[in-house]
Amino acid sequence: MAQTTIPQRNPTPARFQALLRWGLFAGGILVLLLLSQKFIHLDIFPESWNVGLRGVLNEFKRWVVVNRNSHWMFVFFFEPLSSVIDFTLRRVEDFLLWLPWPVVILAIFILAERIRDLRLALLMVACLLPMGMFGLWQESLQTLALMVTAVIFSLALGIPLGIWSARNDLVEKILHPILDAMQTMPAFVYLIPVLLFFGVARVPSIIATVIYALPPAIRLTSLGLRSVSDEMIEAADAFGSTEKQLLRKVQLPLALPTIMVGVNQTIMMALSIVVIAALIGAGGLGEVVLKALRRLRVGSALEAGLAIVFMAVLLDRISAAMAQIERHSVQLFRGYRLFSEKQRGNKLVGMLERGISRVYALGSALTDGVAKYLAKTFGTKARWLYRHSDWIVILLILIISTAIFLPLGIQNFPEALYFDISKPVDGVVQWMQVNLYNIGGSGIGTGPLRDFLIIYVFKPLRVFLTDQVPWSVIAFVFVYAAFAVSGWRLMLAVLTLIMSIGLIGMWPFTMDTLGQTLVAGVICVGLGIPLGIWSSKSDRVDQLVRPVLDFLQTIPIFVYLVPVIMLFGTGSVAGLIASVLYAAVPVVRLTNAGIRSVDVTLKESAQAFGSTWLQTLFKVEIPLALPAIMLGINQTIMMVLAMVIIAGLVGATGLGLEVYQGFANDNLGRSVEAGLAIVLCAIVIDRITQQFARKASQAANLN
């Protein structure tokens, strides 16, 4: 019997191509190093190439200041827009502060129960009560009013733009780079032009929040509409639907879950800027965090930070439940309302569930009585009222509760329920500051660690990137990496972006920031990937790590800085530690998710062929999970760059310090140049790492 032979792929060409690529890379660096010694323009980026953007921007700023009260653009656009936003914000805030605190809690409780279930409603109460117990009820409602106003305007702009983008490919192509820039531009940079056009108050805070939170609403609305199947659209067309009917009755209902995810992301991004917006008078919880940061009062900052975390959980869970509301509108099986079905058979649980069921039965009977009364009073005209009789009952309950509590003077959260954690936290931080600086004179502690990072990491790296390596070599490294992962098109785009950083005069500051980003990124990856692997292998570790990651991801960026400053002092080290805490989350999560998503049969096959645990991990699981891991690294680097300006507030050098000093010294050009450099750097790194992840996905046959 003839034997069939399987043709083996010759590895020589692949190895030769790899050697050729590395040879070209090393040769290019060597040639540029030699040329930079003869041509000074290839060594130090020439100042004569500066396009003078700073002067143009500062001149524009002076023009705005002179013409603010007379130019038609301000009289007929910016001032009316400011008035509308201010009116909306004041009405929402006044209404929330007017309501008695029990009515606010009751309203959110009922809303959560109607959207999802009793468990979510109780979670909402658990999130609201600490805001009052920390003595921050009024500030929390002010922040909530700012959030509601910003989200209203974000959705009013974002959803129509998303619909337009979904129906017009040209609009999609135009909006895509604009949204990329909006998402990569540090939020701090938005404040500068917004202040210029709207002044200092809460209105520019709303505008900055809307700009920052708008992209998810546009992107996910467009994505949701574009994902509606062609068969559904063709069926609607066949029944004679007009374009408006098709949009309103087919596309929008089918795209609603995706659009609601966009609403959820818009809310979370709006909340993430709330502390930064406090710099220009937004007030609320952000102002409390900022005041505590300036006074180095860790306990007060932690209380306000936790209040923001609780608000983030509240808004996230409610908006996420609204995104899935259709899945819970019809319940085929009604189990326990509060406890798990696993508790069935427990007498105490059964008794509590029966009591809860009686309360629900009473509410149902009350709703039916109101519905019958409406039907009897208004007859056939009461169909709409009859259908919404449950909401009418809820509204009546809230109105009656308000009418009872207001005359009794029950409006603000009672001081008797306050629970102060600031003093114990301050005591712990002070103890750590004294006892962890240099533990027992051993040379181990926060002080020696800070000195080591400054002397042996940051300073040499900054000198290496800014003084020792020619700018042409660094540009070549990025350009060659872009060509290697994608080709000529990305290479030319990266070359343009890299050159633009130098042309606006930000090259040395960008290299300083790049060094800090590399250090923080290496630490995040070095900690995050092993922790993600460990979490993927142990459900118990995953359960322990997940709430910590949730906490780190929702706590405001500023709150990280307060304990870090107390332990490590101001400077680049404080910014580094805060960046690692803030940015390590995505690489941990996506490494965990990537390894867990590897097909079990592949792992079993590897083990059946005698692979050890380590061989299976390094030769099967990690290669297949590499696209997810690279996406996590990409997100981590983006989050590190987002921390650059925040780190600049506490003395870290580089672009963050340039943005902050330009903001503090009323130098619009300086801040915008530095912010633009951060955006360009972020886009370069983002595109290269994304293409690398796509290439890894193709290599693993995952497309």
User: Among 293, 275, 292, which Cα is nearest to 284's?
Assistant: 275
Grade residue 129 by pLDDT with cuts at 50, 70 and 90: very high
The predicted model gives 94-118 an average pLDDT of: 89
Contact between 582 and 643 (Cβ < 8 Å): yes
Q: 471: pLDDT confidence band, cut at 50, 70 and 90?
A: very high
HEC string of 452-518? HHHHHHHHHHHHHHHHHCCHHHHHHHHHHHHHHHCCHHHHHHHHHHHHHHHHCCCHHHHHHHHHHHH
Whether residue 18 lies inside any domain: the answer is: no
- Alpha-carbon distance of 680 to 381, in angstroms, equals 61
510 and 604 belong to one structural domain = yes
Q: Is the pLDDT of residue 7 over 70?
A: no
Q: How many CB atoms neighbour CB 283 within 10 A?
A: 20
pLDDT digits (tens, 9 = 90+) for 45-88: 888 898 888 888 888 888 888 888 888 888 888 888 888 888 88
Q: What are the tens digits of pLDDT across the range 544-562?
A: 888 888 777 766 666 667 6
Domain count, the chain: 2
Is the residue at 213 inside a domain?
A: yes
Q: Last residue of a domain, which of 272, 298, 329?
A: 329
Please tell me the least confidently modeled range out of 104-118, 323-337, 442-456. 323-337
H/E segment holding residue 610: none
Q: What is the pLDDT of residues 193-221, one digit of tens each?
A: 787 788 767 788 888 888 888 888 888 88
pLDDT of residue 1: 41
Question: Within a domain: residue 592?
Answer: yes
Beta-carbon contacts of residue 380 (< 8 Å; ≥ 6 apart): none
pLDDT of 559: 66
Same domain, yes or no, for 44 and 152? no
- Asked if residue 338 is part of any domain, the answer here is no
pLDDT reported for residue 703: 45
* Domain endpoint, select from 276, 307, 329: 329
Same domain, 155 and 254: yes
User: What band does 11 get if pLDDT is binned at 50, 70 and 90?
Assistant: low
Residue pointed to by tokens 């310090």: 657
Neighbouring CB atoms inside 10 A of 170's CB total 8
Compute the CA torsion angle 510, 570, 143, 189 (nearest 10 deg).
-20
Residue 402 has pLDDT above 80, yes or no: yes
Residue 677 has pLDDT above 60, yes or no: yes
Looking at the domain assignment, is residue 551 inside a domain? yes
Residue 492 pLDDT more than 60? yes
Indicate the pLDDT class of residue 455, thresholds 50, 70 and 90: confident
| Most confident among 126-135, 177-186, 649-658 (mean pLDDT) | 126-135
Would you state the pLDDT for residue 478?
93
- In this predicted structure, what is the pLDDT of residue 107? 92
> Which range (39-53, 211-225, 348-362) has the least confidence?
348-362
Q: Check residue 473 and give its pLDDT.
A: 92
User: 47 and 78 in one domain?
Assistant: no
> What distance in Å separates the CA atoms of residue 402 and residue 408, rounded to the nearest whole number?
10
Say if residue 512's pLDDT is above 50. Answer: yes
Specify the pLDDT at position 6: 43
Does 626 reside within a domain? yes
Report, as an integer, the average pLDDT of 151-159: 88
pLDDT at 691: 84
Query: Regarding predicted confidence, which is higher, 512 or 264?
Result: 512
With H, G, I as helix, E, B as strand and everything else as coil, classify residue 440.
Answer: helix
The 3-class secondary structure across 278-291, one letter per residue, is HHHCCCHHHHHHHH
The per-residue DSSP string of 145-192 comes to: HHHHHHHHHHHHHHHHHHHHHHH-HHHHHHHHHHHHHHHHS-HHHHHH
- Over residues 378-399, the mean pLDDT reads 74
Q: Do 50 and 76 have their domain in common?
A: no
Domain holding 482: CATH number? Answer: 1.10.3720.10
Q: How far is CA 648 from the centre of its chain?
A: 20
* 164 and 146 within one domain: yes
Inter-residue contact 423 to 298 (CB < 8 Å) = no
Name the band, by pLDDT with cuts 50, 70 and 90, for residue 501: very high
Please give the backbone phi and psi of residue 610, each rounded to the nearest 5 degrees, phi first: 90, 10
More reliable by pLDDT, 384 or 301: 301
Same domain, 198 and 275: yes
**Residues 263, 277 within the same domain:** yes
- Exposed (0-12), middle (13-18) or buried (19+): which is 23, by Cβ within 10 Å? exposed
Verify that 54 and 84 share a domain, yes or no: no
* Among 324, 401, 393, CA closest to 365: 393
Cβ neighbors of 566 (< 8 A, separation 6 or more) are 296, 298, 429, 430, 432, 433
Last residue of a domain, one of 311, 329, 347: 329
Q: What is the pLDDT of residue 103?
A: 92
pLDDT of residue 101: 92
Residue 445: left if φ>0, alpha if ψ -120 to 50, beta else—which one?
Answer: left
Residue 556: CB partners within 8 Å, gap ≥ 6?
272, 274, 275, 286, 289, 305, 308
Confidence at 3, pLDDT banded by 50, 70, 90: very low
> Can you give the pLDDT at residue 642?
76
Q: Return d(Cα 664, Cα 651) in angstroms, integer.
A: 13
| Confidence (pLDDT) at 315 | 84
Is 537 among the domain residues? yes
341 contacts: CB under 8 Å, gap ≥ 6 = 335
Average pLDDT, the chain: 82
Answer whether residue 477 is part of any domain. Answer: yes
Mean pLDDT, residues 86-104 taken together? 90
Percent of the chain with pLDDT over 70: 90
Reported as a pLDDT band with limits 50, 70 and 90, residue 2 is very low
Q: Give the range of the structural domain holding residue 536, as residue numbers without chain letter.
A: 30-66+436-699
d(Cα 511, Cα 128) in Å, to the nearest integer? 44
Whether 61 and 77 share a structural domain? no
CB atoms within 10 A of CB 460: 12
The pLDDT of residue 332: 42
Report how far residue 674's alpha carbon sits from residue 55's, in angstroms, rounded to the nearest whole number: 14
Q: Which of 296-300, 357-361, 373-377, 548-552 has the lowest mean pLDDT?
A: 373-377
In the block, tokens 């949730």 appear at 550
Most confident of 63-77, 286-300, 473-487: 473-487
Per-residue pLDDT band for 18 (boundaries 50, 70, 90) equals: confident
Q: Smallest Cα–Cα separation from 681: which of 464, 484, 465?
A: 465
The pLDDT value recorded for residue 436 is: 83
% of the chain surpassing 90 pLDDT = 11
- Model pLDDT, residue 106: 92
- What pLDDT score was predicted for residue 323? 67
> What's the confidence (pLDDT) of residue 40?
85
pLDDT score recorded for residue 474: 92
pLDDT at 325: 60
Provide mean pLDDT across the span 587-616.
Answer: 84
Q: Are residues 53 and 183 in the same domain?
A: no
Q: Which stretch, 211-220, 242-251, 388-397, 497-506, has highest mean pLDDT?
A: 497-506
- pLDDT tens per residue across span 19-29: 778 888 888 88
- As a 3-state breakdown, the chain gives helix, strand, coil percent values, each rounded to 5, of 85, 0, 15
Q: Which of 59-68, 264-273, 520-529, 638-647 has the highest mean pLDDT?
A: 520-529
pLDDT of residue 5: 44
Most confident among 29-38, 382-391, 628-637 (mean pLDDT) = 29-38
DSSP count for the chain of H helices, then E strands: 34, 0
Mean pLDDT across the stretch 472-486?
91
Asked whether residue 49 falls in the same domain as residue 97, the answer is no
